[in-house]
Chain A
Amino acid sequence: MTESPREHVERTADQPTRESADQPTQESAGLPVATPAELRAAVRELLRPRRGLTLSAVAVLTAATAVGLLTQPLLGRAVDVVAEGRPAGDLTWLVVLLSAVAVVQGGALAYGLVLVSRLGETTLARLRERFVDRALRLPLDQLERAGSGDLTARVTGDVTLVAQAVRNALPELARSALAIVLTFGALALLDWRFLLAALVAVPLQVHTARWYLRHALPLYTRQRVAVAGVQQRLLETLGGARTVRAFRHHARHTARVEDSSLHARGLTLRGVRLVISFYTRLHIPEFLGLAAVLITGFVLVRDGSASIGTATAAALYFHSLFTPVNAALVLMDDAQSARAGLARIVGVAHHGLPEPVPVDPPTAPGDVTVAVTALDHAYEPGRPVLRDIDLALRPKERVALVGASGAGKSTLAKLIAGVHRPAAGRIRRAGAVGLVTQEVHVFAGPLADDLRLARPEATDAELRAALDLVGALGWAEALPTGLDTVVGAGGHPLTPAQAQQLALARLVLTDPPIVVLDEATAEAGSTGARSLERAADRALDGRTALVVAHRLTQAATADRIVVMSEGRVVETGTHDELRAARGRYAALWDAWSDHRTTR
């Protein structure tokens, strides 16, 4: 059964949206999109190792379609047997042939479809592996400029879009196109005048298809955005139900969902109307073509240049064209959006690998593990975030970075971790830097797999030891199936504090000599924060560490405290030294410990 109008619109809308995920401003800032020439080159490159497969897929599908086209002349021949009053026994072998055609066609089609899917799916798998590989190696600063929404949209939206096209549209389109071309050929074989009659429909069909594409793509884009908007608003509202109830905002939030749902309904119905009009407009060339073929049959039979059976076969051919023509025309918009998706995937996948931020060891590695000299940084020209920073971390020293919001602490931490390249100045590191921020992510899958991302060869005992060190072994073993419990999206939910403990356990497993902690303990409640701080303490043991902290107790226990203000380092020293100096740190400490006993 061919697709209903609504199924078409909804399937198109189900294709994950990207328009809503990334703003145009981010698009322009950000990730590359392949040009048509690059796209062609990439597709050629992907298909080259599978040239044999490509050829045999095309050949088998063509054969299947061609065999299938024997049906109509055989039926026509049956009509002729009757018309010419030949013995009914002649019918039997025709019917045997018809059955054979059906069986061969079915078998060849199945085999051809298997070949097409092997070709499409293998190519797609290679492409997506390459995409993920390149995506994971994109420099973070480029990613932050582009907004991670764009990359996420490409990996969820575009990959699925192309996969669906490969899985559904590609075989269907190939079959339909072959059926159309070969049917026209078969009509010509019956009599070239039947082909002429059938071609009457073509200009109208082309015109209708153009009209449809012109309207469909912009409308579906808007509709996809609207449907994604409903989804987003629902997630936000239903996820925040407790807050909505606490503030008695239920009427307001229900109205917000209602508005966006109505908006999406309106656009969906407009899309449905468009597809319906498209089908309805296709009825006109269908009728005109059928009438032309019948008239031709009438004329040819009357002047004796064709048999009634041939005229019947021609009419049946044309009638059997309706389905593939409609299918091919309506799949065009799928093909177009898949092409756009492919351009965005290829843009990342065939992008050259960036040169890694060089590990540039300090000149005197014995005394210093990280050396920052004359560092300046700005995200936008003219708005400096860091100015003239000099800082050296000694081996196994723990340095706390303190300052009010906006002082530049996080930027300095990111630069030292190698996330950004400094605008000016130099950072030397004696080894790999592990970075843990307050952004937590639990990777979907078994808990043990999550940890093994940090060290793939780790034994179970090592995993347990790492969890134990950060105080997470207790709850991890209490999970339904212990370390094999599936966590992350769709799995067993973890609290933010547990997720942060996992992050610290991964750090322990990675075992980097240098660690940067950026407010890694801020998201938990005040009691939770303290146990996380203790876990972080143990995880940092024996490493050179730079810790960005809000809670001054974390600073107070550090070997050295660096106070920042407006992008500069304004004070450096131990807790006691800085308190005695009565400067900014002392003021901060007083504000914080105003109500705490003196230490």
Chain B
Amino acid sequence: MTGRDVLRRAVVGQRRRLVGSALLGAGHQAGEALTPMLIGVIVDHAIAEGDSGALVLLLGALGVCYLVLSFSFRFGSRIGERAAETAAHELRVDLVRRVLHPAGGAERGRLPGALASVATEDARRVGVVLMALVLGFGALMGLLVGSVALLRISLPLGLLVLLGTPVLLWLGHLLSKPLERRSATEQEAAALASGVAADLVSGLRVLKGLGAETAATDRYRRISEDSLAATLRAARAEAGQQGVTLAVTGVFVALVALVGGRFAASGDISLGELVSALGLALFLLTPFQTLAWVNTELAQGRASAARVADVLAAPWAVEPGGEPPAAPVRGELAVRALDHDAVRALDLTTHPGELLGLAVADPAHADTLLRCLGRETDPAGGTLLLDGTALTALDPAALRAAVLVAPHDADLFSGTVADNVPGAAQAAALAAAGADALGADTQAGEGGRALSGGQRQRVALARALADDPPVLVLHDPTTAVDAVTEARIAAGIRDLRHGRTTVLVTTSPTLLAIADRVLLLDEAGRVTAEGRHADLLRDHPDYQRLVLS
């Protein structure tokens, strides 16, 4: 998928609204073009002639013109905006669906903030493209009506305005281009001050802990001064741009007045037609400016659409599709000759129903193994098997229903504790994880940040237990929990997972002690010892060092 496809889908999806809105927008612009012309006609036929009947009639025509332009504007804009917002909304949902897809891969190399900005800012920009198309069509229509009116008044004068206006805008653009460029870079520097202030305030407790308030204030003052200087340069550039535009436009109108006045003086056009021509010359600047705006919006929209397409078409992290695991799941997980990242030729097996402890010396090895087991990635070499079937042959979502890998840094979501721990076994899981005292109705806050680190960890553990999968892999579930609670949690895990395969990847002796069997992976990532925790502790100095230091 490319950016072009994204744009095309957005346009096709909203085609009815777009057509309606474009037609009404054209009506609006035609009305705007007729207003200055009607003023000229009124000067000509009513004021200059002193004809009150014509005045009433023409004011009536002006009224009708206003009615039409007002009505078209109102409904045309509404429909167009609805199309733009709806297209942006649909893209947003598509993006979320893609990122959350079981086969993953879309968030690789992108920070959550960057992804969120694609889903808000870029999706919005694609929506604005629709509006730009509608407004562009309206502007063309206004241009057409205005041109016909002008050319009917006088061919040479009409040509002067029609050819002069783009030249004028181009000239203004040319004059202000260096200013514009400078302004853009300066704006960036100016934005720094507010960013740094926010950063210092969010690190306020840390600053206070160090007594570094003065150092921070001094730093901020320097950055604020630099930003001020940059902002002033940007403002100068912008002011210059506005002044240039104004001056060039004024000179152009003067030129039209000169040529039109000479035609009027020689009797080629009437007085009212001169007034109309002056009004139209001023009016025609707007559609040309709109077209220039449409052009930049389209360029930005194309860039945004390309970023959207990049996420939507990101390569899968693992192949989607495949068989569901054979039911019932016995729970035998086997790793054969696994080669991935720092892990080399790793072999290990869990027996169905056992509680296996994995004491891994290098956290990087643990992380790699867990990512392969959870099919966040497929291994470069070797195989992982569930009940004898290669994980790569299984559907990722169905596999995770059978083998749940709960990461150490699991995220919580806003909502109550109960919302975060769905499942029939909720109460038992909360109790086993030592999170029952917290209260199921407690709000977890955004990302669970209303809870303390220890509370978050216990709720995350409860969520994994409540999911009640045939195979559960837990990674360091109790690092932020005090010793008494950890012992209680260990017993809870043991009871709740009785008879089902559970893998504990940890170096906590409290947890390893409840395992039926413990494997030690040394610094090189090889299994160098196997046995019960107490025996390993007695016989294996490396193990002792790892879990008791």
Contact = CB atoms under 8 A, between A and B. Distances in A.
Contact of A239 (B112, B210, B212, B261): B112
A512 interface: yes
Interface stretch (A39-47, A106-114, A207-215, A332-340): A106-114
A490 B102 CA distance: 28
Interface stretch (B9-17, B59-67, B140-148, B299-307): B59-67
Interface stretch (A367-375, A380-388, A441-449): A441-449
Describe A's contact surface by its main secondary structure: helix
Nearest to B293: A1
Contact of B55 (A82, A140, A238, A298): A298
Contact of B205 (A118, A125, A439, A595): A439
Interface in A122-160: 122, 125, 128-129, 131-133, 135-138, 140, 143, 148, 151-152, 155-156, 159-160
Interface string B324-368: 000000000000000000000000000000000000111100000
B77 to A, nearest CB: 5
Give me the 3 closest cross-chain CB pairs, A-B, nearest first. Answer: A102-B250, A106-B247, A110-B243
Contacts of B74: 276-277, 280
A311 interface: yes
Interface stretch (B150-158, B159-167, B379-387, B508-516): B508-516
Contact of A245 (B100, B193, B254, B264): B100
A102 B116 contact: no
Contacts of B453: 438, 519, 522-523
Contacts of B547: 596
Interface in A480-532: 488-490, 493, 503, 506-507, 510, 512, 519, 522-530
B46 A155 contact: no
A200 interface: no
Interface stretch (A93-101, A191-199, A459-467, A470-478): A93-101
12 contacts: A88-B261, A91-B257, A235-B447, A236-B414, A245-B104, A248-B102, A249-B422, A273-B78, A287-B62, A456-B215, A530-B549, A588-B483
Given A453-B207, A526-B507, A103 B251 contact: yes
A237 B70 contact: no
A545 to B, nearest CB: 14
Interface string B40-71: 00110011101010010001001100100110
B295 to A, nearest CB: 13
B198 A5 contact: no
B184 interface: no
A444 B196 contact: yes
Contacts of B73: 276, 279-280
Contact of B78 (A78, A238, A276): A276
Nearest to B513: A595
Given A246-B400, A522-B479, A526-B508, A230 B199 contact: no
B119 A234 contact: yes
B96 A102 contact: no
Nearest to B208: A140
Given A4-B131, A79-B275, A102-B254, A595 B363 contact: no
A95 to B, nearest CB: 4
B485 A404 contact: yes
Interface stretch (A250-258, A390-398, A421-429, A575-583): A250-258
B205 A280 contact: no
Given A441-B206, A453-B212, A550-B483, A91 B261 contact: yes
Nearest to A110: B243
B246 A102 contact: yes
B8 interface: no
B111, B210, B218: which has the most chain A beta carbons within 10 Å? B210
A444 B195 contact: yes
A174 interface: no
A510 B212 contact: yes
B323 interface: no
Interface string A251-275: 0011001100110010011001100
Interface string A215-237: 00000000000000011111111
B487 interface: yes
Contacts of A83: 48, 271
A302 interface: yes
Contact of A128 (B55, B113, B197, B238): B197
B223 to A, nearest CB: 9
A78 B509 contact: no
Interface string A579-599: 000000000110111111100
A131 B197 CA distance: 9
A261 B93 contact: yes
A250 B97 contact: yes
Contact of B261 (A78, A301, A510): A78
B29 interface: no
Contact of B413 (A236, A319, A452): A236
B240 A405 contact: no
A95 B209 contact: no
A440 interface: yes
A122 B116 CA distance: 34
B100 A291 contact: no
A184 to B, nearest CB: 19
Contact of B81 (A6, A254, A595): A6
A301 B507 CA distance: 98
A561 interface: no
Given A143-B204, A248-B397, A287-B62, A297 B47 contact: yes
Nearest to A293: B39
Interface string B289-300: 110010000000
Nearest to B476: A525
A101 B257 CA distance: 14
Interface string B471-498: 0000110011111111100000000000
A234 B120 contact: yes
Q: Interface residues of B toward A: which range?
A: 35 or more
Contacts, number: 478
B70 A597 contact: no
Given A526-B476, A592-B510, 5 more contacts: A82-B271, A110-B239, A117-B238, A132-B201, A231-B120
A85, A239, A437, A595: which has the most chain B beta carbons within 10 Å? A595
A257 B92 contact: yes
A113 B183 CA distance: 14
Interface string B376-414: 100000000000000000001100110011111011111
A302 to B, nearest CB: 5
A105 B258 contact: no
Nearest to A235: B116
Contact of A242 (B50, B97, B235, B376): B376
B528 interface: no
Contact of A550 (B104, B200, B447, B480): B480
Nearest to A407: B482
A92, A238, A529: which has the most chain B beta carbons within 10 Å? A238
B250 A510 contact: no
A526 B506 contact: yes
A155 B487 contact: no
A246 B404 contact: yes
A584 to B, nearest CB: 10
A211 B265 CA distance: 48
Nearest to A244: B100
A365 interface: no
Nearest to B547: A596
B447 A240 contact: yes
A129 B221 contact: yes
Given A91-B261, A98-B250, A522-B479, A118 B215 contact: no
Nearest to B115: A238
Contact of B69 (A118, A237, A283): A283
Contacts of A399: none
Nearest to B100: A250
Contacts of B279: 316, 319
B480 A5 contact: no
Nearest to B512: A595
Contact of A312 (B111, B275, B454, B534): B275
